[in-house]
Amino acid sequence: MEWALAVDLGTSGPKVSLVAADGRVLGSATEPTRLHLLPGGGCEQDPDDWWRAITVAATRVTREHPVEASRVVAVGMTAQWSGTVPVGADGRPVGRAIIWLDRRGAALIQQVIGGPVRVSGYGIGKILRWVRLTGGAPGRSGKDSIAHILWLREARREVFEATKVFLEPKD
């Protein structure tokens, strides 16, 4: 029988499982990750800590089931969403990831989505443009990637300028 290694990177840490094609879970392991709660609604995690926790949990579950682990043919990954990982030209994180709980960009996103005539807090012309170009619009809470990027640009200029690409946690 062939197996998949399934990784779910949650906010409190990853859960790694050996899963059969029929969905049967043979074994699982978890490993906690640190959450950095900061003033002003900040919430960050270290991408290197994610990788450490994934490898620890994967090692634990595969050592518990060595025969099945030798038959792993696929790896599946899911993760928390709406996090922002600033990555430099060398492919390494420039700083900690700003995760979905972080709301420090809320005031900045209001400048991007607001307008003189508003519907549910969105400027009519701006919301129409957002929907036309992207199929949606950023949330007003400041908890999504565009707000995180705006906040980095304003509050952590050195991180923003050192970043080549912004990625989601599982990317």
Q: Who wins on pLDDT, 113 or 90?
A: 90
61 — phi, psi (to 5°)? -70, -35
Work out the average pLDDT over 144-168: 97
pLDDT of 115 reads 87
Q: What pTM, to 2 d.p., does this model score?
A: 0.89
Nearest to 109 by CA among 57, 147, 166: 147
Contact 136, 46 (CB under 8 A): no
* pLDDT tens string 22-58: 999 999 999 999 999 999 999 999 999 999 999 999 9
All domains in the chain, ordered by first residue: 1-79 (3.30.420.40), 82-171 (3.30.420.40)
